[in-house]
Amino acid sequence: MKKTLLIAACATLLAFTGCKDKKNMDNPFFSAWETPYGIPDFSKIKTEHYLPAFDEGMRLQKEEINAIVNNTEAPTFENTIEAYEYSGAMLNEVASVFFNLSECENSEEMEQIAEEVTPKLSAHGDDIALNAKLFERIKTVYDQRESLNLEPEQMRLLEETYKGFVRSGANVAADQQARFRELNEQIASLTLRFAQNVLKATNAFKLVLDENQLEGLSEDQKAAAKATEGENAGKYVFSLQMPSWEPFMQSCSNRDLRKQMWDAYANRCYGGEFDNTKIIDTLVNLRLERANILGFKSHADYVLDDCLAKTPQAVYDCLMQIWNPALAKAKSECAEYQKMIKADDASAELEPWDWRYYSEKLRQQKYELEDEVVRPYFSLDGVREGAFNVANKLYGLTFKENPELPTYDKEAHAYEVMDGDQVIGILYMDFFPRESKRSGAWMTEFRGQKIDKEGNNVIPIIQVVCNFTKPTADKPSLLNFDESETLFHEFGHALHGLLSKCHYPSLAGTNVSRDFVELPSQIMENWCRNPQVMKEYAKHYQTGEAIPDELIKKIAAAQTYGQGFINTELLAASLLDMDYHSITEKQAVDPVAFEKAALDRLGLIPEIISRYKSAYFQHIFTTGYDAGYYSYTWTAILDHDAFAAFVESGDLFNPELAKKFRHLLESGNTQDLMTLYREFRGKDPDVKPLLRDRGLI
């Protein structure tokens, strides 16, 4: 999941209503949105509006910070902590719109703006974090906290605000502050360049084929790839976007073509025009230096100090208890595929570009479960409605599409989210690839839930973005089962944001630690794959027939198939991330050599690579999961254990458990997160449900 870039206190209020000149009067960020629910008026926003709005937003927040610092009254929770929490309203609004749209509506102009504004935002953030007088007031309130009779959420805000300033450098020695600022600016600029390189490298490759080169591909796959206009009209075009790349790798019989696609995918950003290797070297060392200045021996120590895991060793211990059984299973899978490729070509040795092809072939043989037999029952519309129905049964929510609401793209659909007759949030869903859109799937927000300074509840505006195969002339978008789980996953993140019932924006919704934030998303995958639930939402797109019991059984039986590969590539990426960020001495980092050494130490077999190779590993070098990619596995333990509570109760929609889990979702970061989990589950989480469900024990 990709969280919105939030500045300062993560507040998002109505835009500043004042304006100075005609140019600013024409800028939609300088007045309140005259739209339903205060949704950004996307139709009025032009690229030239962003930089003036960013500048004004930073100016206004500086005024607000100065007002706090220069207040002659003694520091209090209200005049210091709350005042800071609600500062930066306009800046946060501009940032949330700009950085969300730069992910899914990118352009050269947007990239130029990002390059110009990113160092400004970094410097602005440092001006606040390193403001000694501001921190002195915050510390004064913090030191008095036990005598202030604060409400629990107020106390949490005070503690998190104080901790956030310390982690942002408030205690950095004066003679190190200039270097600290420089580090933050360089890190921000490098992460931006890394992301831009990955997007450009992904879009730069196209494999253009004639029909006689498509042996093994289904008619649906051919139809999805056939170009109908432009220079490649009549030919078949395959890209590095997952809805194109993965089905090709699973189905194409031509081994040389699979290798071409594999090489293009796996070698992105290693040298050439979009090289990321030097960025990685610099970024890893800059992060280490910053962590050292903050008093931590490694970047991982710094990151994890604010997470449930707390230490790198705890992460390694967690991952390794799954790595060993997963690797053993992967080796047995490899042996099976090696036999198959030998049967096709006695001289061939299994390579990474063969794995998906033979895995899919064996899956079909074992379970008679061809992807093209499954897809007709998982239309995008059906899966989406299935997710909506689960939310309705658990929490009583309904989702009403409203085409009158403003949207940023014709493919983005807006829904009013209803709890009874009350609208509690707006949900955007944007499902198809575009060249202006980065690959992957994520949830973010144009506005988080909060209570504003006047005491009004401000409803959240949430966005879910995916990259599924587009409909063709005669078929809707049909998903494979993994894609269906992806939709449920991101929808789970959306529910976390939509159901938030917090007072303060920086504590609301998904503003929790990274090794907790995946719990609400991953638990939804359990309902997606449950046979009882599947029977309700998986309907044949032509006949409306519910998915047959026999096919459900095959899907269920296949759930543990390929888990050796799935878990080892995921864990390899997680451990590679930890290795990069656990270094304690500055060193020259060659990503190719570093990655090989890390994976060799693990004993990863050469037929499998890390889920993301270093040069396009956006989670850890762009989207904020540095020293945090482990969280998908850490929270998988939580989500399997949590769903086991529903199974053990005999009711997948047990009202009492649903009420408790809704409370967890509503609470954001207003209290200790493991306390929230234990209140729901009644005990500490157990790893056994995860290992059992993945067929690793």
| pLDDT of 12 higher than 70 | no
Question: Could you read off the pLDDT of 261-305 as tens digits, one per residue?
Answer: 999 999 999 999 999 999 999 999 999 999 999 999 999 999 999
Question: Could you read off the pLDDT of 577-596 as tens digits, one per residue?
Answer: 999 999 999 999 999 999 99
Of 13 and 318, more confident: 318
**pLDDT value for 106:** 92
Q: Which residues lie closer than 8 Å to 645 by C-beta, 6 or more apart?
A: 654, 657, 680, 681
Q: For a pLDDT cut of 90, what percent of the chain falls above it?
A: 89
Q: pTM for the whole thing?
A: 0.86
**pLDDT value for 364:** 87
| pLDDT confidence band for 246 (50 / 70 / 90) | very high
**pLDDT value for 310:** 94
CA–CA dist 466, 430 (Å, integer): 6
**pLDDT value for 252:** 96
Question: Could you read off the pLDDT of 314-352 as tens digits, one per residue?
Answer: 999 999 999 999 999 999 999 999 999 999 999 999 999
**pLDDT value for 372:** 84
| pLDDT confidence band for 23 (50 / 70 / 90) | low
Determine the residue type at 207.
L
Report the pLDDT averaged over residues 190-208: 95
**pLDDT value for 313:** 97
Q: Judge whether 607 counts as a catalytic residue.
A: no
CA–CA dist 498, 428 (Å, integer): 11
Catalytic residue selected from 103, 360, 485, 490: 490
| pLDDT of 437 higher than 70 | yes
CA–CA dist 608, 115 (Å, integer): 36
**pLDDT value for 360:** 92
CA separation (Å) from 489 to 410, 486, 583? 23, 5, 32
| pLDDT of 571 higher than 60 | yes
**pLDDT value for 368:** 83
- Could you give the 3-state DSSP secondary structure of residue 519? helix
| pLDDT of 491 higher than 70 | yes
CA–CA dist 178, 180 (Å, integer): 5
**pLDDT value for 559:** 84
| pLDDT of 245 higher than 60 | yes
Report the pLDDT averaged over residues 480-485: 93
CA atoms within 13 A on the CB side of 547: 27
CA–CA dist 263, 269 (Å, integer): 12
Report the pLDDT averaged over residues 459-469: 96
Taken in order of first residue, the domains within the chain and their CATH numbers are 22-171 (1.10.1370.40), 205-266 (no CATH), 376-561 (1.10.1370.40)
| pLDDT of 21 higher than 60 | no
